[in-house]
């Protein structure tokens, strides 16, 4: 299949694009490189630099592909800003980039593109869960602008499915981590500039790039007072995207949670990194951040049952181990 991968120069999008290529598909990466690098596009994969707000550019991609006799079969949409804390400081940026720009993409899809789309959503659409683990029927009530910006897209997709027949899968996932492993070792990993995700920040301490790791809040209603999150390995997530795309052959609207099924606190993640790296990793306590729910843990039972999804990395130490291997490779050259 020929597939447009928006945000395909990023951590998750790039991992999925590489997997698509390895399976014999033809991914075309579309990215504005605002938080990624051209060098991160998988080798041999076609790259188009552009912004989702540029609807004519996307439409022309679809038109040119169709005119050449090789039309797109689907869109995998990853492009988005993803920092919950930042979204509470600059909500207008998140609504413009994540919501308005996605509307521009969807308009191009409806006008000239394929009518199949896999949307990279988020567990943040649930907000503070009423029960844990969270399943797909849980109330949708985001506590931050990032989650709201994604929920609005899900609502648009619901209507476009009803009115225009757009077939879509929405994948709500949690904290993505780790690095894909191949015959030559780890391939690519998680790194942002500036970095804000917990596991890369912790590993930066082990590498001597930071003095300590910050813990934002130790007074949450959890066993050790720190937030609990569900960490999913990026390779398991990539597998689920391909399965979700295939499921659109027989279904026109699907929603799945993707996660490990068990939660780990910030302190537990730090302890795992200490075991894996052998570094003491000093930690400092800071006040809570606005919009951070205490616990987010997914029930992936539906994806396992209906997609046949089988996560391979279910232990936190295995996830951290692959991330550590990649970070050493990246920064100790």
> Which stretches of 162-309 are assigned E, i.e. beta strand?
167-173, 175-177, 181-182, 185-186, 213-216, 228-229, 231-233, 253-258, 264-265, 283-286, 295-296
Q: Are residues 101 and 195 in the same domain?
A: no
Does the pLDDT at position 18 exceed 90?
yes
DSSP character for 298?
B
Q: Are residues 114 and 50 in the same domain?
A: yes
Q: Please state, in angstroms and rounded to a whole number, the distance separating the CA atoms of residues 50 and 57.
A: 8
pTM: 0.93
Q: Are residues 106 and 237 in the same domain?
A: yes
Residues marked as catalytic: 146
What angle, rounded to 10 degrees, do the helices at 198-206 and 316-331 form? Answer: 60
Q: Are residues 272 and 212 in the same domain?
A: yes
Specify whether the CB–CB gap between 323 and 189 falls below 8 A. Answer: yes
Tell me the pLDDT tens digit for each residue of 149-197: 999 999 999 999 999 999 999 999 988 999 998 765 557 788 777 778 8
Tell me the pLDDT tens digit for each residue of 65-91: 999 999 999 999 999 999 888 999 999
Q: Which has the closest alpha carbon to 139: 151, 157, 121, 150?
A: 151
Does the pLDDT at position 35 exceed 90?
no
Residue whose entry in the numeric block shows the structure tokens 């989702």: 52
Number of structural domains (the chain) is: 2
Domain carrying residue 204: 181-229+262-331
Q: Are residues 166 and 283 in the same domain?
A: no
Q: Are residues 15 and 98 in the same domain?
A: yes
pLDDT for the residue 278: 97
Tell me the pLDDT tens digit for each residue of 248-295: 999 999 999 999 888 999 999 999 999 999 999 999 999 998 767 788
Tell me the pLDDT tens digit for each residue of 230-251: 999 999 999 999 999 999 999 9
């Amino acid at each position: 299949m020929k597939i447009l991968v928006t945000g395909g120069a990023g951590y998750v999008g790039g991992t999925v694009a590489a997997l698509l290529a390895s399976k014999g598909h033809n991914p075309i990466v579309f990215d504005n490189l605002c938080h990624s690098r051209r060098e991160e596009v998988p080798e041999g994969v076609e790259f188009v630099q552009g912004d989702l707000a540029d609807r004519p550019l996307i439409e022309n991609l679809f038109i040119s592909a169709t005119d050449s006799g090789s039309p797109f079969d689907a869109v995998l949409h990853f492009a988005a800003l993803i920092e919950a804390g930042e979204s509470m400081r600059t909500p207008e940026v998140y609504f413009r980039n994540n919501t308005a720009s996605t509307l521009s993409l969807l308009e191009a899809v409806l006008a000239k593109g394929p009518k199949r789309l896999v949307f990279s959503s988020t567990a943040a659409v649930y907000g503070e869960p009423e029960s844990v683990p969270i399943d797909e029927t849980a109330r949708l009530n985001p506590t931050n602008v990032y989650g709201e910006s994604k929920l609005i897209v899900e609502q648009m997709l619901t209507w476009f499915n009803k009115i225009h027949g757009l077939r879509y899968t929405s994948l709500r996932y949690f904290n993505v981590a780790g690095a894909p492993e191949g015959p030559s070792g780890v391939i690519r990993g998680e790194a942002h500039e500036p970095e804000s995700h917990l596991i890369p920040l912790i590993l930066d301490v082990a590498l001597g790039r930071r003095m300590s790791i910050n813990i934002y809040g130790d007074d949450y209603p959890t066993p050790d007072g720190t937030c609990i999150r569900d960490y999913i390995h990026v390779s398991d997530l990539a597998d689920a995207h391909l399965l979700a795309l295939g499921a659109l052959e027989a279904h026109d609207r699907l929603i799945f949670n993707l996660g490990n099924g068990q939660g780990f606190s910030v302190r537990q993640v730090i302890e795992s990194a200490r075991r894996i790296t052998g570094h003491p990793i000093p930690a400092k306590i800071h006040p809570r951040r606005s919009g951070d729910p205490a616990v987010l843990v997914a029930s992936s039972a539906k994806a396992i049952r209906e997609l046949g999804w089988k996560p391979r990395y279910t232990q936190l130490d295995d996830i951290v181990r692959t991330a550590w291997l990649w970070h050493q490779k990246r920064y100790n050259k």
